[in-house]
Structures are given as structure tokens and as C-alpha cells.
Structure 1
């Protein structure tokens, strides 16, 4: 799994951090998403999919590893 974030779309809700704190964080100054791990381990995939699903701004997209 490959994770992509669009910082321009991010509204700083923080749902991604709650769903997958090992993969996402937020910038202190404005709450915009920070991608900690663009290719998370398999045991984190369910949490990352949930984070993408609950993102109110649809700022997280998922793909496959090349």
C-alpha cells in the first residue's frame, strides 16, 4: 500500500491521526496532515483505510506499491 496526502485539501480535522497515529500526524501551526509513513506495514493497512474513509476533505488517497 502506498499513501498519498493532499495538504491543500486537508482541513485539519485530525480524524486520520485518531485512526492511524503511526502513519499520520498534524503540523502544530495549522493542523494540516503530516504523512509519517508513505508505505505502512501490512498490519496498519486497515487503520489507514479507515483514516482515508473518514477524512472529511478526502485529502488521503491510497494506491499500490510500484
Structure 2
């Protein structure tokens, strides 16, 4: 399992993260990413990985949680 982190200050509001993983990400009224669920699970892992790969400002990261 991993923890998802976002750098809201560096977000450009592209919205691909929301399109790819709407259960994990949203945009606020200013168009800045909001993390809805900070836990990467087996169910959302592929979508989160795509969101990370597609983010033009690389504001999404995963931190592995030690077992």
C-alpha cells in the first residue's frame, strides 16, 4: 500500500488526474487539485499511476508505506 501526495501549490489545473481517477482526485473552485483519498489501493493503483504519468507539473507522488 502507498500514500498519495499532491503539491497543490504547483498544480496547474490540467484535470487529467480527475478524469483518470475521479474517486481519488477532484478540482476545487480555483481549479487546483484536491486529494479525496490519500490511499493507493489495488482498485485504484492503475488509475493513480496513469494520473502520475499524465500530470504535466508532476505534482502527484506515491510514498510507499513500510510493511
CA–CA separation in structure 1 for the residues paired with 2:65 and 2:42? 12
State how far apart, in whole Å, the 2-side matches of 1:40 and 1:59 are: 16
Instruction: Give the count of matched residue pairs.
Output: 65
Please identify which structure carries the higher strand content: 2
**TM-score, with structure 2 as normaliser:** 0.90
Separation (CA, whole Å) in 1 of partners of 2:50 and 2:63: 14
Q: Which runs of 5+ in 1 are unaligned?
A: none
Q: 3-state SS of the aligned residue for 1:43?
A: coil
Q: CA RMSD in A?
A: 0.9
TM-score, with length taken from structure 1: 0.91
SS at match of 2:12: coil
